[in-house]
Structure 1
Amino acid sequence: MTLTSAQTADGVLLEGQRQRLIKSATSVGERAAAQALVAEETTLARENVQRTLGLLDRPSRSPVRWEGLMGRVYGLGLDEEQRAFLALVLSMVGMGSVSLAAVSDLDERRLAVMLRAIARLAGNDTLAVGTRI
């Protein structure tokens, strides 16, 4: 079994779990949210987040439980920035109510991930998000 580079003190996110999360998407919003979580890496690498989504201890064909995250955002031990990112991601799947002003809590890397996710959510795959020189 080959492990990916996404690793935290809590656990390791396996490539199969990343693929399962993305493949389980049943809507544009779920796909954008899944891709954002995979791209951000640190939040999804936490074992308690994987378990809450149903990526652990469940058959690979079981649906991902987005609603499980909504009720546990504050109980997952995430820092403020990870919570803001997760709240924005959950809003893409229609869960929760978070102001777009939450992007002010994100660092540059997470902001770029979120901007790409918003473009995907809008059906735009040509918009470039990055640093201007």
Structure 2
Amino acid sequence: MTITETETAVPEALDPEKELQLLGEQLMRTAKTPRDKAAVRALVEERTILELPAVRRALIVDSGRGAKVSFEGLSGRQYGLGLDEQQLSFFGLVLSMFGIGITTLAAVRDLDDRRLPIILRAILLLAGNETIAVGTRL
């Protein structure tokens, strides 16, 4: 008598691009307050910070309804997440929207041309202003 192994179906992992998109959509659905929405939208749009496993472990919790961002308890922890200087400046500004940390607005000087418009749009969202456009001057 021979014993045959049963094949176990292993679900295919989502490609990282699709996984990040789904995570971003879930995080946006669970953001309730204007400051949550502004901060989450900025992180989702910036992308590289949410791609880091250490950031996901520190920032994302399972709420029973799926993943959600939990900014509480992050004060001071951003320096141990493996962020580069650009990401650290951006993340500090995002946390300041939520009221965490002491990052001054002068940190925008450290942002590149890709991240600066993201922060500007997030500030406008936080202010409830939908009339000012952020883009390249002609």
Question: In which range does the TM-score fall when normalised by the shorter chain?
Answer: 0.7 to 0.9
Q: 1:97 aligns with which of 98, 102, 117?
A: 102
Cα displacement (A) at 1:2: 4.5
Structure 2: segments with no counterpart, 5+ residues: 1-12
Cα displacement (A) at 1:15: 2.2
1:53-64 matches, within 5 Å, as 53-55=59-61, 59-61=64-66, 63-64=68-69
The TM-score normalised by the length of structure 2 is: 0.80
Structure 1: segments with no counterpart, 5+ residues: 7-12
Query: What is residue 30 of structure 1 aligned with on the other side?
Result: 36
SS at match of 2:102: coil
CA distance in structure 1 between the aligned counterparts of 2:92 and 2:17, rounded to whole angstroms:
24
Cα displacement (A) at 1:77: 0.9
Larger Rg, first or second structure (1 or 2): 2
More strand by share: 2
Runs of 4+ in structure 1 displaced over 4 angstroms? 57-60
**Amino-acid identity (%):** 48
Equivalent pair of 2:74/2:100 in contact (CA under 8 Å): no
Q: Deviations over 1:19-39 (max 9, x none)?
A: 121122121011000000001
1:74-93 matches, within 5 Å, as 74-93=79-98
Q: Deviations over 1:67-111 (max 9, x none)?
A: 243331000111111111001001111111211000001001100
The TM-score normalised by the length of structure 1 is: 0.83
Cα displacement (A) at 1:3: 3.1
SS at match of 1:81: helix
The answer on 1:49 being equivalent to 2:61 is: no
The answer on 1:118 being equivalent to 2:123 is: yes
Q: Which amino acid aligns with 1:100?
A: L
Q: Which amino acid aligns with 2:28?
A: I
CA distance in structure 2 between the aligned counterparts of 1:3 and 1:41, rounded to whole angstroms:
15
